[in-house]
Amino acid sequence: MGLLVKLGLRRRVKWERPTVLDWLLDSPLQAFVFHLYRVILWLRGNPVKPPRNGSRPPIKIVFLSDTHESIVDRVPDGDLLIHCGDMVNDGTAVSIQKQVDWLASLPHQHKVVVCGNHDSWFDVNARDEADTLAHRSVDMKSLRYLERESVTLAFKGGRKLNLYGAPDIPWCGGPENAFQYTDQQNPWDGTIPMDTEILITHTPPQHHLDLSIGCPHLLREVWRRKPKVHVFGHVHCGRGMQPVFWDDCQKAYEKVMSRQKRGPLYDMLPHAGWLDAWRVLQYGVVSVLWHWFMLGGAADGSVMINAAMQDGTSGRLLKKPPFTIEI
């Protein structure tokens, strides 16, 4: 195992993207379905687009996450800036204030943040002892911090957006991590308001831009609420933008990816996972044909965005710009 890692044939930790050999040794069936599903999504396109009505001006949203005390150069202009947490590494008030000062200096009309597990000052149970004893505080300036709460923001043309943000994160280990919960706890059930259009969390939902280490409880809650945009971070190597359609194809995909990994020999033998994989293909082909031939390229769905700005586990920022969308 150690030699395969040194040769780059296997990943070192679960936070890195799986290699081809990782996929083959874990589950070739899941590898096939994972890449098939992405082809299907690419063929269907992004369902979240700016208004076609000229009287409703588009709202441009810029997404950041996991800056870890770094300053991102050339942040695109926009109407709304969202930061999904892990602004810093050590979680202290001084470090967080520096990030807040930088974010507040940006020209966006509205700026909204949730905290990540490293931003421990926000969680009194994880706060640095020196910060607690000194009663140090953070001036959020023009930033709106969301901790399991909603906000309605007004934009040009009389447009409004309903946002909900929450910092809760599956257990990462160590009391210095903020807002953690165990596998037996579910902080998400029934928490996201029905009128939420943009959901901001630090953790990803399971099986979506998460290297399969996201939260299954959050996934179930997102299925119930179906926000137009769900943005998160935490899993640096999961960075990306992905449409979701809340249909039978997505259900079948998530079912396959939720199956226990049993290796290549088991996957070669007929089992129930084969039927689920066939359903992904079947529903996917039908959805693509319906999308283009019946709906003319229009579709109702959402988009998920892992906005992490870190270059994997390197500790450096990516050279790529932040994700932006118009809604």
- Order of strands across the sheet that contains 302-306: 149-154, 160-166, 198-201, 229-232, 302-306, 240-244
Contacts of 96 (CB under 8 A, 6+ apart): 87, 88, 119, 121, 122, 138
Architecture of 58-236+308-327 per CATH? 4-Layer Sandwich (3.60)
CA 131 to the chain's CA centroid: 30
Rounded distance, CA 298 to CA 296, Å?
6
Distant-in-sequence, close-in-space partners of 219: CB < 8 Å, separation ≥ 6 = 205, 206, 207, 208, 254
- Other beta carbons within 10 Å of 39: 11
Q: How far is CA 190 from the centre of its chain?
A: 19
Q: Give the domain ranges of the chain.
A: 19-48+247-300, 58-236+308-327
Residue ranges in the chain assigned as alpha helix (H): 2-6, 20-26, 28-44, 93-105, 129-134, 216-225, 248-258, 263-268, 272-289
Burial class (CB within 10 angstroms; exposed 0-12, middle 13-18, buried 19+) of 231? buried
Q: Which two tokens stand for residue 42?
A: 């690419």
Tokens 């689920």 -> residue: 276
User: Per the structure block, which two tokens stand in for 147?
Assistant: 């901790």
Length of the chain in terms of residues written:
327
Rounded distance between C-alpha atoms, residue 19 and residue 55, angstroms: 48
For residue 211 the two structure tokens come to 């290297």
Longest dimension (CA), the chain: 65
* pLDDT per residue as tens, the chain (327 positions): 688 888 788 888 888 999 999 999 999 999 999 999 999 999 999 999 998 877 789 999 999 999 999 999 999 999 999 999 999 999 999 999 999 999 999 999 999 999 999 999 999 999 999 999 999 999 999 999 999 999 999 999 999 999 999 999 999 988 899 999 999 999 999 999 999 999 999 999 999 999 999 999 999 999 999 999 999 999 999 999 999 999 999 999 999 999 999 999 999 888 999 999 999 999 999 999 987 887 776 778 999 999 999 999 888 999 999 999 999
Please give the pLDDT value at position 4: 80
Cα–Cα distance measured from residue 307 to residue 323, given in angstroms and rounded to the nearest whole number = 7
**Both tokens of residue 169?**
């994160």
Both tokens assigned to 12: 């070192």
Give the span between the Cα atoms of 155 and 58, in whole angstroms: 9
Residue type, 139: D
Please choose, from the candidates 236, 168, 230, the residue with its C-alpha nearest in 3D space to the C-alpha of residue 202.
168
Residues whose CB is less than 8 angstroms from the CB of residue 173 and which lie 6 or more positions away in sequence, other chains included: none
Q: Tell me, what DSSP letter sits at residue 291?
A: I
Q: Which of 254, 232, 236, 234 is nearest to 244 (CA)?
A: 254
Question: How confident is the model at residue 1, as a pLDDT?
Answer: 66
Under DSSP, the state recorded for 290 is I
d(CA 294, CA 143): 44
CA 217/CA 190 separation, integer angstroms: 11
Rounded to whole angstroms, how far apart are CA atoms 149 and 145?
Answer: 9
